[in-house]
């Protein structure tokens, strides 16, 4: 590792990855463990691992990333918009179910990002009071 002559600090700081099997909790991964990774905010779809197979049948590990897009979705009930990073497949599902509100109410809590989970609870509360 090269050091900067003026400060005696490393020129770069190595990035350590979270152990994907254990995570911070020591058990199942939470959404927060993968917040900055390739993960859909609506469906929880994430990168998969597989092999790149050459013509000579040599197998090399690789990752298959979901088709993620940054979009702004609008809630009709709350009259509010939210910027999310979602897969193209999730966008089609949102349209099919009739909008963001219907999608959130039907989605499982463990698949949603924390900000969308709060939005889901607010939508359910507002629809219940109306």
Alpha carbon distance 117, 119 (integer Å): 5
pLDDT digits (tens, 9 = 90+) for 32-47: 554 557 899 999 999 9
Return the pLDDT at 13. Answer: 46
Alpha carbon distance 40, 68 (integer Å): 7
Domains along the sequence of the chain with CATH:
31-129 (2.30.170.40)
Alpha carbon distance 50, 80 (integer Å): 39
Token readout for 89 is 């497949």
Return the pLDDT at 15. Answer: 46
Model confidence, pTM: 0.67
Residue 84 burial by Cβ neighbours in a 10 Å radius (0-12, 13-18, 19+): buried
Q: Give the pLDDT band (50/70/90) at residue 29.
A: low
Could you tell me which residue, 68 or 30, shows the higher pLDDT? Answer: 68
Residue 16 has pLDDT above 80, yes or no: no
């Amino acid at each position: 590792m090269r050091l900067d002559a003026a400060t005696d600090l490393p020129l770069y700081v190595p990035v350590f990855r979270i152990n994907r099997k254990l995570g911070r909790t020591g058990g199942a991964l939470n959404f927060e463990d993968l917040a900055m990774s390739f993960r859909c905010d609506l469906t929880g779809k994430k990168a998969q691992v597989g092999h790149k197979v050459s013509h000579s049948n040599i197998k090399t590990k690789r990752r298959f990333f979901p088709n993620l897009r940054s979009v702004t979705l609008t809630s009709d009930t709350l009259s509010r918009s939210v910027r999310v990073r979602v897969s193209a497949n999730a966008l089609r599902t949102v349209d099919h179910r009739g909008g963001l509100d219907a999608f959130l109410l039907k989605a499982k809590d463990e698949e949603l990002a924390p900000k969308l989970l709060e939005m889901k609870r607010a939508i359910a509360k507002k629809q219940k009071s109306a």
